[in-house]
Amino acid sequence: MVESEDVPVDIDLGEGAESPNPTKEAKSSGGKSSGKSSSKAKRTTKAKKEKKTQKRSKATKTKKAKKAIKYDPTENFMVPKHEIVGEDEKRELERMYGSLEMFPKILVTDPIVIRLGAKEGDLIRIHREEGFYYRYVVSRS
């Protein structure tokens, strides 16, 4: 009897033909066919886009957070005492000096106004060594 040896043979089967050893192809491509890898690529790009969107939404949230007060301005010794004037005193000041809109203005976005919780149309009294100063709260100057 004649013993036969396994000799590797290079066979060109063409583009449409199957490979003679499908297990080698499966091992070389990671066990996945080419069709699945393109869908995997689509999933990864979709995941990357979602992460970018999340980063953008976090950025807008941080912008909004920057508008919030990061510190209490009344803790500084240089900041004089501020308080919201009551309705009775507001009417008295309006009677004495004219319209409240003639008073110096302070924006609603000012940190001290936010800290006090004042709204548009409120009047704020500032206690200084020289006396009292008033500011009319407005949304725009």
Reported as a single tens digit per residue, the pLDDT across 31-61 is: 454 555 566 666 677 777 777 666 665 555 4
| CA dist list (Å): 58 to 46, 52, 61, 140 | 18, 10, 5, 28
- Could you report the per-residue pLDDT of 105-127, keeping only the tens digit for each? 999 999 999 999 999 999 999 99
Residue bearing tokens 């953008």: 56
Structure tokens at 130: 């020289």
Q: What pLDDT, on the 0 to 100 scale, is given for residue 65?
A: 44
**β-strand 105-107 against 81-84: which pairing, if any?**
unpaired
Look up tokens 């950025």; give the residue.
59
Determine whether 126 is exposed, middle or buried from the number of CB atoms within 10 Å of its CB (0-12, 13-18, 19+).
Answer: middle
Rounded Cα gap, residues 130 and 134, in angstroms? 13
